[in-house]
Amino acid sequence: MIDCLIEGLDHVQMAMPAGGEDRARAFYAGVLGLAEVPKPADLAARGGCWFEGGGVSIHLGVDADFRPASKAHPAFLVRDLEATRMRLAAAGVAFANGKPIDGYERGDIADPFGNRIELMQRL
């Protein structure tokens, strides 16, 4: 058996169109409650923004040929999926129930750019 070379996950990179930083902040910080963290100076000129919270780091980078990711996605764990649904609804974010997976309740949302995000609650 080969030893695993991976020891953890540092961040998830997602794409967004140029000029979408304010919409990203409104959603990732304002709705999801993540904190914006500064990008390193040598990367800041490229645009985009980074967020952290709840043990996750999300890097949103500008893609000149942006297309939303409708299949590939991050899956975030939440404590209370029903409370999360209510908070999302109050913010005007649509929630679609996911297909059952043993041990989880789950559903999907989209960020302001159409990128799929899965939300999961352990049962």
pLDDT (tens digit per residue) in 33-62: 999 999 999 999 999 999 999 999 999 999
The pLDDT, as a whole number, for residue 2 is 86
For the chain, counts of helices (H) and of strands (E): 3, 8
Q: Average pLDDT, whole number, for the chain? A: 95
pLDDT (tens digit per residue) in 95-111: 999 988 999 999 999 99
Reported pTM? 0.93
The pLDDT, as a whole number, for residue 5 is 86
Rounded to the nearest angstrom, the gap between the alpha carbon of residue 109 and the centroid of all alpha carbons in its chain is 9
Residue with the two structure tokens 């049962």: 123
Residue with the two structure tokens 């070379």: 5
Q: What percent of the chain has pLDDT over 70?
A: 100
Strands 116-122 and 75-77: parallel
**Dihedral sign (CA 119, 25, 46, 54):** negative
Q: What residue ranges define each of the domains in the chain, with the CATH number in brackets?
A: 12-122 (3.10.180.10)
